Structure 1
Amino acid sequence: MKLIYVYDNKTKINKGRTKLENVRYFTGEMNPEDLWTEVATYLDEAYDLDLVEDIFIAGDGANWIKSGLEIINGSKYVLDHYHLSKYVKIITAHLDSLENPIYIDEPLWNYMKAGNKKCTMEIINFAIEETPIKSKRESMKRAKRYISNNWEGIKNLFGEKKYRCSAEGHISHILSSRLSSRPMGWSVIGADEMARMRVYKANGGSIKEYYRNTRSERKREKRILELDEKMINNVKRTYNNMDPDIMIDMPYISRTDGRWLKGMLKAHA
């Protein structure tokens, strides 16, 4: 289940804890384009976008997240620091236990922070060459591709305007704690309903009101379906009660003007 959240400022509460200001959540089992369109509509209604200096779209590099760049005008992609760290560890975690240990953590991070892609790739290649286990080399190559494919997001992560993404915490709190933290089975419709309900509550809505509105909407849809069925049944009854001879009759040959056609038909009978 996808989750997008929008906010415009951060307030430090205490060491290690930050509060997001004017946060708004979006979710749903839908096409990414439709989800991002919802976000774009909200931004247009909630803000004067002509006065907004920067819009950052942060995430783990998934294509559906990057697709938001095409819908949110002027937005910039930022790679989530958490996921970058995870892929860096795939490259470096085993290097100090090699027969001839190498330590590239610090220079690797320094090259990435400086936006030096050439040196970043070279030091990763060196680490791959020094790794004797083939399966490990393959996982390091995948991590290298991930870093290369998300280079623009890495540059924006360490740019002049520092940006940190807290998506993992929000996903855990709003979606995972109810949908996947404990063994559960969900239908697509059920998961979508639960995700929307939790987002509705996180946005300040009342669950009772959500349930009341949902039930009212379903009753309205049921009435429409019942009305449609009633109309269809009325049409069926009309045709069922009609004389078949009348339905298959050819009006033109029953009138005087159609005598020539009658004669022709009889001649071929």
Structure 2
Amino acid sequence: MCRLGTISNTAVLPLERKSKVSELFIEADEDYVVMQQRKKQQLRLDYVYEGKLQDGRNRRKLTAKRVFTGYGMPWNEIKEYIQTVYDCPEITILGDGALWIQSATAYLEKSRCVTDGFHVVKYLRQIAGTEPVQPLYDALLSNNREQFCQEAEQKIQHHPYRKLRICEGQKYVLNHWEGIWDWLQNRETFASRTKGHVSHILSTRLSSRGMDWSKDGAERIARLRTLAENGGDVWRYALDCLTKKHSDTVPVPDLNSQELTRQCRRRRLPYCVYDAEHSFHMPGSEGALHGRWMKDTQNSGYHHIH
């Protein structure tokens, strides 16, 4: 893994140029991976695609998808990819409204941020608690901030012990009001699976189980999974990478079978048995009942070269 280095998000060759595509979508989210120092590091994931096609009864498939991951801001790589393949399309960025996602509009032309429906429903339910969500939802549909705040205040009056949770949800909705309104107007088009993508690419391997990682190791694993998701051949990439590094650093000598045989005979150890016909096994070493230690003892003292 260390010898491969960190794989570039552009390791797979880009698709052919598509000048007729007028709209792109980006789904962005992050996963928190535990490092060896017991601190968490944020790994970011972005899916770039053209649209969705029906794939079965309850499933839709992303068309022309491209995956990017890493610790830093991915927008420069995504911008380079879009400029290579497309002619300045309109870009809709779906996410939870984090600052790093909102910063995409400073990098990508003709882009806008839309709040992901998963997070909208999450915070509405957080405000409502065990009560119906519909009054809050109606306030959003009517684009009425005042009505929404009144509904939230009523929740606080009825359940004062939940004030912090209600205020947290209210603050999130008000801070992302425009993005939520855009999502409400085009719920079918802007339906996303950001959490599902993060679980599939990152969480399944890096954070779902009790693991801790080095910073480089986590990113390399994430980039390998991204390479496979983008349609690349992981084994071919590894072989090409290792072969190139070997040829760049160590010159491969011409192999001479006679010279190899001569060197082997010169370096024979006096206590080794090189003739298979005159080698003997320790009694009982072939059986599994005596365990592996007898074979290890045998192999440590004698080397059988056939």
TM-score of the two chains, using structure 1 as the length reference? 0.72
Q: Is the strand fraction higher in 1 or 2?
A: 2
Instruction: Give the distance between the partners of 2:62 and 2:86, measured in 1 at CA.
Output: 16
1:23 counterpart = 2:49: no
Aligned counterpart, 2:294: none
**Structure 2 residues not aligned, in runs of 5+:** 1-42, 251-306
1:116 counterpart = 2:116: no
Alignment CA distance shift 1:218-1:176 (3 Å): farther
Q: 1:144 aligns with which of 170, 181, 188?
A: 170
Aligned counterpart, 2:87: 48
Aligned counterpart, 1:184: 211
1:61 counterpart = 2:97: yes
Instruction: Give the distance between the partners of 2:173 and 2:247, measured in 1 at CA.
Output: 51
1:4 counterpart = 2:31: no
Alignment CA distance shift 1:73-1:157 (3 Å): same
Aligned counterpart, 2:115: 79
Q: How far has the Cα of 1:125 moved from its partner?
A: 1.9
Q: How far has the Cα of 1:221 moved from its partner?
A: 8.3
Q: How far has the Cα of 1:21 moved from its partner?
A: 0.2
Task: Look at both structures and tell me which one has the larger radius of gyration over its CA atoms.
Answer: 1
Q: 2:75 aligns with which of 22, 36, 43?
A: 36
Q: Is the helix fraction higher in 1 or 2?
A: 1
Segments ≥4 residues shifted beyond 4 Å? 216-223
CA contact (8 A) 1:59 1:167 kept: yes
CA contact (8 A) 1:197 1:210 kept: no
Alignment CA distance shift 1:220-1:89 (3 Å): farther
Instruction: Give the distance between the partners of 2:68 and 2:140, measured in 1 at CA.
Output: 32
Alignment CA distance shift 1:217-1:82 (3 Å): farther
Give the AA of the match of 1:48. D
Q: 2:196 aligns with which of 158, 169, 172?
A: 169
CA contact (8 A) 1:56 1:75 kept: yes
Instruction: Give the distance between the partners of 2:50 and 2:136, measured in 1 at CA.
Output: 32
Counting only pairs closer than 5 Å after superposition, residues 185-200 of structure 1 correspond to structure 2 as: 185-200=212-227
Instruction: Give the distance between the partners of 2:217 and 2:71, measured in 1 at CA.
Output: 10
**Structure 1 residues not aligned, in runs of 5+:** 96-102, 224-269
Count of residues in correspondence between the two structures: 207
Aligned counterpart, 1:206: 233
Give the AA of the match of 1:184. M
Deviations 1:143-179 (A, max 9, x none): 1111111112101101257411211111111111111
Identity within the alignment, %: 33
Deviations 1:56-94 (A, max 9, x none): 101112111111111111111111111111111111123
Partner SS state of residue 184, structure 1: coil
Output the aligned Cα RMSD. Answer: 1.9
Give the AA of the match of 1:186. W
